[in-house]
């Protein structure tokens, strides 16, 4: 099973840290959108798309890449992100980030991708005036976030292998 993790991580490298944990479990390659040749994606069985959340959605480089992808029928994908909104209210955080994932999810689905999992966690945020107060989510992603990312990847692995069996 060939797996690719595509990540755009520009603010504090928060999302690439998560991408590395996921890729490690899945034995996957990691690339930035710029490094991806859309044609090569046909060689992968499962593709992950992730970035920090910017203005309530994924980074535009991810959308620009997806725009160039050929239509597929049986390709599986997963979505991940880190977000600067406060992580201490778990349920609100989950509701917010799952809304932020919708535009990318719908775009991938419109290209024929089946979304088999989504992951999000808080990421250190010093955007705009927030930096004057020391930033939000300092130290995130943390050990607990990496543990959840690992569990997420293990679940993906199990699901993908189950389908192959």
Contact between 64 and 104 under an 8 Å Cβ cutoff? The reply is: no
Contacts of 113 (CB under 8 A, 6+ apart): 47, 72, 75, 76, 77
Residue 2 vs 99, nearer CB to ligand FMN: 99
Nearer to ligand FMN by C-beta: 89 or 161? 89
d(CA 163, CA 82): 28
Binding mask 108-127 for ligand FMN (x = CB under 6 A): ---------------xxx-x
The token pair that represents 7 in the structure block: 């990540």
Contacts of 133 (CB under 8 A, 6+ apart): none
CB of 70: closest distance to ligand FMN in angstroms?
27
At closest approach, how far in Å is the CB of 165 from ligand FMN?
35
In the range 79-108, which residues lie near ligand FMN by CB under 6 A?
A: 82-85
**13/75 Cα distance (integer angstroms):** 28
Binding window for ligand FMN (CB under 6 A); candidates: 28-36, 41-49, 62-70, 77-85: 77-85
Binding site for ligand FMN (CB under 6 A): 9-15, 52-56, 82-85, 123-125, 127
């Amino acid at each position: 099973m060939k797996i690719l993790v595509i990540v755009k991580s520009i603010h504090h490298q928060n999302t690439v840290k998560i991408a590395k944990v996921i890729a490690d479990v899945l034995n996957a390659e990691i690339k930035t959108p710029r490094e991806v040749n859309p044609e090569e994606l046909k060689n992968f069985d499962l593709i992950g798309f992730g970035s920090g959340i910017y203005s309530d959605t994924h980074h535009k480089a991810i959308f620009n890449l997806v725009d160039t992808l050929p239509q597929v029928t049986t390709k599986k994908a997963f979505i991940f992100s880190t977000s600067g909104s406060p992580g201490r209210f778990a349920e609100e955080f989950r509701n917010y980030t799952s809304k932020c994932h919708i535009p990318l999810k719908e775009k991938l689905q419109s290209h024929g991708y089946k979304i088999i999992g989504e992951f999000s966690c808080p990421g250190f945020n010093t955007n705009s005036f927030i930096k004057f107060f020391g930033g939000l989510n300092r130290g995130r992603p943390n050990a607990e976030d990496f543990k959840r990312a690992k569990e997420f990847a293990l679940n993906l692995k199990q699901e993908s292998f189950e389908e192959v069996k």
